């Protein structure tokens, strides 16, 4: 096509990147969200004298740690174009299984194994329906959402399991160092693991490819079904981890545990900048979103705002954060046309 002598004349130099790293970071969703987070932090510190207290802040982290653990796995799943609405029900089932085991005298290590295993099994169940049977994940997980929690109700009825071993309380009530709870440490570790997985590995690249164009990804040699299967397993596993933490924190199990949490997790993911339709988003965004939601709930809690009214703020935040940039763009477009 082109011989050597033509190279200097015909070959155009296409640069690797047009904009510098700093520029791209500044203009990102995550940056906007960080600004929102800082603003809320500042607002909170003015709104209540109890806010800037290390121990209060430490307690406040429980608002988002368990949800956040699941949110990281959910983020990858949503980026790949799927969703899992059964996560809260997996918590219920895992928690019920642990509670049942306690009645038979299980100790903390066994409980952890059971919690994680049930999470994995539920994840596998979802995975089979979606990847092997090829069914849409939204309806499958609406089904398993009822099924998993339903099984918990069958086992436990409207009673409760208590009597967890004292050592078990470490997960949800223990401290790693000073004000830093075990849960926030687990949250941080999981955040780092998922951050690396999504942004620095071939697996993460495959997730993005699948989310943008599953057919194109398949035709490019990516094992789409295998990747999705693993993502559902991970979501189930993280739900198991969250189940351990939550059960440990509450010290008891009811089948109604974590009702509604799945929607809070999805809210956290979307707030974090993950496109619900798949294909884009980042882990740092989810981390910041977790903090934002935690700050809002904690701040409003300090002002004695009831939980259900707090949800109004979260709902407005969710819609606002997506609507405002679009409204802005529409106004800008209209202005440039006149």
Partner 1 sequence: MVSRNIPVRETILGGAILVLMGLISTRFAGFVAPANLANVFNDTAPLIILALGQMVVILTRCIDLSMAANLALTGMVVAMLNVAMPGLPIPFIIAIAILLGAFMGAINGLLVWKLAIPPIVVTLGTMTIFRGIIFLISDGKWVNAHEMSAAFTGFPRAAFLGLPVLSWIAILTVIVFGLMMSRSALGRSIFAVGGNPHAAVYTGINVGKTQFLAFTLSGALAGLTGYLWVARYAVAYVDIAGGFELEVVAACVIGGISIAGGIGSVGGAVLGAIFLGVVKNALPVVNISPFWQLAISGSAILIAVAFNARAGQTKGRIILKSAEGSV
Partner 2 sequence: MTERLTPVVSMDAITKIFPGVKALDAVQLDLYAGQVTALVGENGAGKSTTVKILTGIYFPDGGTIRIDGQAVTFSNANAAADAGITAIHQETVLFDELSVAENIFIGHAPRTRWGLIDKVAMQRAASKLLQDIGASFDPRTRLRDLGIASKHLVAIARALSVDARVVIMDEPTAALSHKEIEELYELVETLKAQGKAILFISHKFDEIFRIADRYTVFRDGAFVGAGLIAEVDQDALVKLMVGRTVDHIFPERTPNVAEDVLQVVGYAHPTEFADINFTLKRGEILGFYGLVGAGRSEFMQSLFGITKPTKGVCKINGRIRIIRSPADAVANGIVYVPEDRGKQGAIIGLPIFQNITLPSLGRTSKSGFLRLAEEFKLAREYSERLDLRAASLDQDVGNLSGGNQQKVVIAKWLATQPQVIILDEPTKGIDIGSKAAVHEFMAELAAQGLSVIMVSSEIPEVIGMSDRVIVMRDGRIEAELEGDDLSPETLVRYAAGISTTQMEEA
Q: Which of 113, 124, 147, 188 binds partner 1 (CB under 8 A)?
A: 147
Q: Tokens 């993950």 belong to which residue?
A: 274
What is the nearest approach in angstroms of partner 2 to the Cβ of residue 112? 27
Q: Tokens 């620095």 belong to which residue?
A: 200
The residues that touch partner 2, with contacts defined as CB under 8 A, are: 1-2, 10-12, 14-18, 200-205, 208-209, 211-213, 215-223, 279-280
Task: Please give the backbone phi and psi of residue 175, each rounded to the nearest 5 degrees, phi first.
Answer: -125, 140
How far, rounded to the nearest angstrom, does the alpha carbon of residue 285 sit from its chain's CA centroid? 10
Sign of CA dihedral 209, 83, 197, 17: positive
Give me the 257-296 binding string for partner 1, x by CB under 8 A, dash otherwise: --xx--x--xx--x-----xx-------------------
221 in contact with partner 1 (CB under 8 A): no
Partner in contact with 157, chosen from partner 2, partner 1, none, beta carbon below 5 to 8 Å by kind: partner 1
Q: Which stretch binds partner 1 (CB under 8 A): 110-118, 175-183, 240-248, 256-264?
A: 256-264
Beta bridge partners of 161: 253
Instruction: Tell me the CA distances in angstroms from 63 to 81, 183, 192, 199, 249, one per residue in order.
Output: 27, 11, 20, 26, 12
Please give the Cα distance from 221 to 238 (Å, whole number). 28
CB atoms < 10 A from the CB of 21, how many? 8
Q: What is the DSSP letter of 16?
A: S
151 in contact with partner 1 (CB under 8 A): yes
120 in contact with partner 1 (CB under 8 A): no
32 in contact with partner 1 (CB under 8 A): no
Binding positions for partner 1, rule: CB under 8 A: 129, 133-136, 138-140, 142-151, 153-154, 157-158, 259-260, 263, 266-267, 270, 276-277, 306, 308-312, 314-316, 318-319, 322-323, 326-327
């Amino acid at each position: 096509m082109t011989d050597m002598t033509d190279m200097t004349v015909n070959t155009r130099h296409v640069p690797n990147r047009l904009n510098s790293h700093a520029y791209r970071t500044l203009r990102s969703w995550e940056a906007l969200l960080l600004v929102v987070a800082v603003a809320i932090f500042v607002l909170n510190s003015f709104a209540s004298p109890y806010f800037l207290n290390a121990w209060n802040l430490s307690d406040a982290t429980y608002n988002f740690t368990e949800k956040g653990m699941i949110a990281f796995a959910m983020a990858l799943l949503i980026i790949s174009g799927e969703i899992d609405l059964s996560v809260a029900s997996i918590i219920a089932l895992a928690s019920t299984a642990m509670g049942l085991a306690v009645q038979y005298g299980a100790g903390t290590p066994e409980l952890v194994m059971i919690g994680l295993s049930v999470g994995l099994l539920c994840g596998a169940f979802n995975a089979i329906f979606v990847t092997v049977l090829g069914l849409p994940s939204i309806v499958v997980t609406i089904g398993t959402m009822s099924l998993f929690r339903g099984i918990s109700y069958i086992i436990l009825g409207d009673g409760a399991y208590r009597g967890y071993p004292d050592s078990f309380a470490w997960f949800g009530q223990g401290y790693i160092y000073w004000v830093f709870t075990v849960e926030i440490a687990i949250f941080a570790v999981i955040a780092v693991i998922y951050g690396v997985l999504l942004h620095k590995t071939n697996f993460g690249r495959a997730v993005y490819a699948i989310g943008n164009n599953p057919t194109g990804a398949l035709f490019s040699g990516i094992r789409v079904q295998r990747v999705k299967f693993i993502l559902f397993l991970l979501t189930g596993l993280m739900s198991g981890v969250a189940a351990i933490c939550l059960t440990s924190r509450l010290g008891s199990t009811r089948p109604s545990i974590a009702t509604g949490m799945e929607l809070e997790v999805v809210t956290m993911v979307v707030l974090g900048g993950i496109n619900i339709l798949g294909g884009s988003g980042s882990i740092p965004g989810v981390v910041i979103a977790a903090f934002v939601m935690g700050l809002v709930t904690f701040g409003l809690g300090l002002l004695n705002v009831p939980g259900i009214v707090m949800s109004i703020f979260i709902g407005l935040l969710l819609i606002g954060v997506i609507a405002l940039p679009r409204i802005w763009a529409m106004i800008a477009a209209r202005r440039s046309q006149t």
